[in-house]
Amino acid sequence: MLLPFCDPGELIQHPVPPFGHTDELVVLTRNSPSTRYIGPDGDYVGFEQDLVELFAKDVGMKVRMVERSRLSDILPALEQHAAHLAAAGLGVTRERESEVRFGPAYLTVQKAVAYNTDMRRPRALADLAGKRVAVLAGSSNAEKLRHEARGAPDLTWGEVHAAGIDPLLDQVADGALDYVIADSTVLELTRNFYPNVGIAFSFGAPESIAWALPKDAPPELADKVNDFFRRITADGTLRILVDRYFGHVKRLDQGDIVAFLTQRQTVLPQYVAAFKQAQELTGIDWRLIAALGFQESHWNPLATSPTGVRGLMMLTEITADRLGVGNRLDAWPNILAGARYLEMLKDALPDRIREPDRTWLALAAYNVGYGHLEDARILAQRKGLNPNSWLDLRKTLPLLTRSDYYGTVKRGFARGAEAVILTENVRNYYDILQRYEGPYRPLFATVTADASQP
């Protein structure tokens, strides 16, 4: 198997000043959907990015993230003290524990097998024998396979040096590889980009994900890492971050993904200009507006529902009249009105609701109505949940279909579960568009100061 070119300069490590002797926290990481990437506003975001920034704030240090293009380079660099810690979605394994010191576990994953859905689905590791199987070099997958594949002596695999799992999944999609072994969370995050790649099965015991520290890390650093994770676990911060980055990834099925990727190429180009103008009017990322439009109508300007909502953004007659839309089947004004309505819903929410929850709640209100969203927020308060958190509203919105709940709130019955599905699907479609479509930077910003992006 051919390996990507290796830049020898990347392997040269320069020790950083010890923790406690500098005001800069240096962290090794990598660019991937599960760790750190550039968000819609051009800043770095991601699960590990957010965790590190919170930790640096806790310890009163500025942070410098150092990316390694290959996962296999991270732990060797850490052992050479090129950073104070590594936050890169690292699995805790016996082999690694002999090399580095791990902090508290903050995520649990399982190993899973990715396969081409045009081929027969394997059911067990023994079915992989004699096939072209690959793992990402530097990941814990090879160690897990060595342990789990004892009952399949003919099973072999290659370890590929690459920046992430995508090059391997590209080969599965193209038929150059039969199977790829990866963390279940990583596969769930990336499968929406590959309509013919699915997860065949998971295997082995769950594996913990944690930060790695050098074996001789100062006790003060280890104590602060332990205290940090203890705090964010107790106060719910960790739960919210996990939901923010991983809570929506299982909503779409293969048919949804195929339809979306196909129409992104064939239908979306007709409406990109309108979506970008909608961004100019509202400050909302055009790709989010487009994702909402697809969820509502599959970008069909003539769509009409049995309840009377019509057009690409599926506007009610009342909303269309309110926003001055004479013909709801005219795509351009329909798109602009839908974006303005979403902006109005965001603006109506209390100022204390922060992003991205503000956008997710507005999307739910777009479906179910602002009043019913408020009812769900009241139910959240009654249950001791956070009425400003999408993670908790996702639990109470479906209760609006039950008489023992909707009978106790002002506006009564609502199809709250549909609002949850819409929001989670839009989040997935938005993720896909961020991967394939670039952001729009208007030359002249016409948005208001509070029209923030998710």
Residues with catalytic annotation? Answer: 296
CA within 13 Å, CB half, 106: 33
Query: What is the maximum span of the chain, computed from C-alpha positions, in angstroms?
Result: 70
81 by Cβ neighbours in 10 Å (0-12 / 13-18 / 19+) ranks as middle
Q: Facing residues of 213 across strands?
A: 101
Angstrom CA distances, 184 to 63, 189, 206, 276, 351, stand at 29, 9, 10, 35, 36
Rounded Cα distance between 2 and 283, Å, is 45
Quick one: how many helices (H) and strands (E) in the chain? 18, 11
Pure H helices in 47-199: 47-59, 74-79, 94-97, 141-148, 166-174, 184-190
Pure H helices in 247-356: 254-266, 272-282, 286-297, 317-322, 331-348
Q: Is the dihedral of CA 346, 352, 353, 355 positive or negative?
A: positive
Angstrom CA distances, 272 to 198, 278, 287, 407, 445, stand at 30, 10, 9, 43, 18
Is the distance from CB of 446 to CB of 429 less than 8 angstroms? no
